[in-house]
Amino acid sequence: MFEVKHHDLLGRIGYIKTKTGTFETPALLPVVNPVQQIITPRELYEMGFRSVITNAYVLLRRKKKEAEEKGVHKLLDYPGVVMTDSGAYQLLVYGRVETTPEEVVEFQEKIGSDIAVILDVPTGFKVNRAKAEQTVEETLRRARELFLVKKKKKTLWVGPVQGGTWLDLVKRSAEEIAKLPFHMYALGSPTRVMEQYMFDLLVDMILTAKTCLPITKPFHLFGAGHPMMFPLAAALGCDTFDSASYAIYAKQRRYMYEGGTLRLEDLDYLPCSCPVCSKLSPEELREMPDEEAERNLARHNLYACLAEIRRVKQAIAEGRLWELLEARARTHPSMKSALAKLNKYVEIFERFTPLSKRRGLFFYDNFSLTRPEAERFRRRVKERFKPPREASILLLLPPVSSKPYTRNKKVRSVLSRLSRELGEDLGRVHLCIYTALGIVPLELDEVYPASQHEGPPFIDKELATRIANDIADYIGKAHYKAVLYHHDPSIEWGTTVYLAVLKTCLNKNLIFKATSMDEKPWSRQSVEELSKSVMELLNKIKEKT
């Protein structure tokens, strides 16, 4: 029922198969108001939305007979996939609904919903623990009951996770609901958290739920309807989202784009080329009758959502979702803090990020270097790599720009010189490069992304210290007898590495030598000096033993 084609971070491009048809994810399901529509479901389909969501509870209360007779697809005049929500939102807003969980299940089956949601009890925002616990338990009770009540096989059922901002309750809720054979799972009541831009909390909520749920099932995020949210939501493993934002914002004369929301009154230009924005100017939009402006804004907002979803998909397919996240992190400070939060879950991301990608990685700054591929490389070197047994000297070379290192002219010049001078003793020297990724032993040159990355152009003190400490740790654990550090004055942060390595060698009683601070570390003369230093060290080691 759910097939995944590409994945990156926790995001994936997949296909959800329903009785009406199959649709591609990540997908935004626009909310269709069953009684009043600013954009008709047919128009949504024509714009490219292959799935929508509507409210079963509103239908039940206002159009029960018609919906039961015609079915929800015909009633809405929509040929795509229809998901129905259950009234949980009304429960959250009004505190009560006039129906029962059983009736909501039966009704959704009767009207032919493709994807249906049980009448869960949303935890909401800022509720005390006792209340939150109650919503979790009651939702679980209703979730279990579903499997006694439901009759139709072809309806896909969604199991909502509750608990709100109480993460331990989210965990319990997810663990328990995961035991039930739902087709999809969802995170309930995150709307207020998103409205208040508490994206870092949202990261915790989603990942707490996700890590307890079966990864092979699609995951829905209720109420995420702003394009600025999509890359993050997708990266966290949300396959579908729904929202009425396009219409709500349009009513407030607000214009959505991937970086945020602008007021129509503030717009000098329309930064978009959708069918609406290609034809109209901001003045024309402002001067239109309210309802017409609202309709046009709603259409634009939907196009803006579609465009960002496509960008997310392309990024997943290319393995560049992290880079899209980084670009979006600059649109709002709260997005940046959400991204910083991802560090806490790096192991989870690492597990689901492909081992290698079609294209190399771009590191823009320190933050880029916390992306899962970089973390994975550093960890693997740390945990799994053992230097060759006969190696007694570590030769630390500075980073060079063209990669792979083994084919780099400068590195090759060192290798061939040493090979000439040392002959069979070459095996006693272990060549490694210190890079932004940490230490790269030449034999790991082909391990992704050692040779498949660019940048960053500048490494700050904090990162330099981290890299230096990693290298020092590595030396601390290895069995070298001597370390030779080759300096490149143009690599400023090399000094930090130099100091950390020196300290470790003193502590471990290893022989340490650094080459002179020559302006041209790769000149013929420098390479000759380097080779001489290696010989000297080999002799010293011989004397010592």
CB of 22 to Zn ion, least distance (A): 28
Cβ contact 312:230 at 8 Å: yes
Q: Give just the sign of the alpha carbon dihedral 168, 170, 173, 176.
A: negative
Residue count at the site for Zn ion (CB under 5 A)? Answer: 5
Angstrom distance (rounded) from CA 407 to CA 403: 7
DSSP string of 88-141, one letter each residue = HHHHHHHS--SS-HHHHHHHHHHTT-SEEE-------SS--HHHHHHHHHHHHH
> Using H for helix, E for strand and C for coil, what is the string for 8-20?
ECCEEEEEEECCC
Nearer Cβ to Zn ion (200/294): 294
Nearer Cβ to Zn ion (298/444): 298
Which position among 277, 285, 447, 450 is part of the footprint of Zn ion (CB under 5 A)? 277
CB of 155 to Zn ion, least distance (A): 36
Neighbours of 438 (CB within 10 A): 25
280 touching Zn ion, by CB under 5 A: no
Residue type, 258: E
Nearer Cβ to Zn ion (276/450): 276
For residue 417, the surrounding DSSP H or E stretch is helix 409-422
- Grouping H, G, I as helix, E, B as strand and the rest as coil, residue 391 is coil
Nearer Cβ to Zn ion (276/500): 276
Q: Which region among 294-302, 327-335, 474-482, 529-537 touches Zn ion (by CB under 5 A)?
A: 294-302
Nearer Cβ to Zn ion (277/293): 277
272 touching Zn ion, by CB under 5 A: yes
CB of 477 to Zn ion, least distance (A): 57
Chain centre distance of CA 72:
34
Nearer Cβ to Zn ion (59/277): 277
Angstrom distance (rounded) from CA 171 to CA 159: 14
CB of 364 to Zn ion, least distance (A): 28
- Grouping H, G, I as helix, E, B as strand and the rest as coil, residue 187 is strand
Q: Please name the residues in contact with 67: beta carbons below 8 A apart, sequence gap of 6 or more.
A: 34, 59, 60, 75, 107, 110, 111
Catalytic residue among 85, 239, 242, 488: 85
Cβ contact 393:430 at 8 Å: yes
Please confirm, yes or no, whether 120 is among the known catalytic residues. no
Nearer Cβ to Zn ion (300/481): 300
CB of 255 to Zn ion, least distance (A): 8
Nearer Cβ to Zn ion (178/274): 274
- Grouping H, G, I as helix, E, B as strand and the rest as coil, residue 438 is strand
Q: Please name the residues in contact with 390: beta carbons below 8 A apart, sequence gap of 6 or more.
A: 427, 428
CB of 300 to Zn ion, least distance (A): 4
Q: Which region among 82-90, 173-181, 270-278, 353-361 touches Zn ion (by CB under 5 A)?
A: 270-278
Q: Which region among 295-303, 363-371, 386-394, 452-460 touches Zn ion (by CB under 5 A)?
A: 295-303
Angstrom distance (rounded) from CA 121 to CA 215: 24
Q: Which region among 36-44, 62-70, 103-111, 277-285 touches Zn ion (by CB under 5 A)?
A: 277-285
Which position among 274, 288, 442, 541 is part of the footprint of Zn ion (CB under 5 A)? 274
Site string for Zn ion, 297-316 (x = CB under 5 A): ---x----------------
CB of 248 to Zn ion, least distance (A): 17
Cβ contact 406:445 at 8 Å: yes
CB of 265 to Zn ion, least distance (A): 17
Q: Which region among 271-279, 284-292, 324-332, 467-475 touches Zn ion (by CB under 5 A)?
A: 271-279
Q: Which region among 180-188, 266-274, 496-504, 512-520 touches Zn ion (by CB under 5 A)?
A: 266-274
For residue 23, the surrounding DSSP H or E stretch is strand 22-25
447 touching Zn ion, by CB under 5 A: no
Q: Please name the residues in contact with 4: beta carbons below 8 A apart, sequence gap of 6 or more.
A: 12, 13, 14
Active-site amino acid positions: 85
Binding residues (CB under 5 A) for Zn ion: these are: 272, 274, 276-277, 300
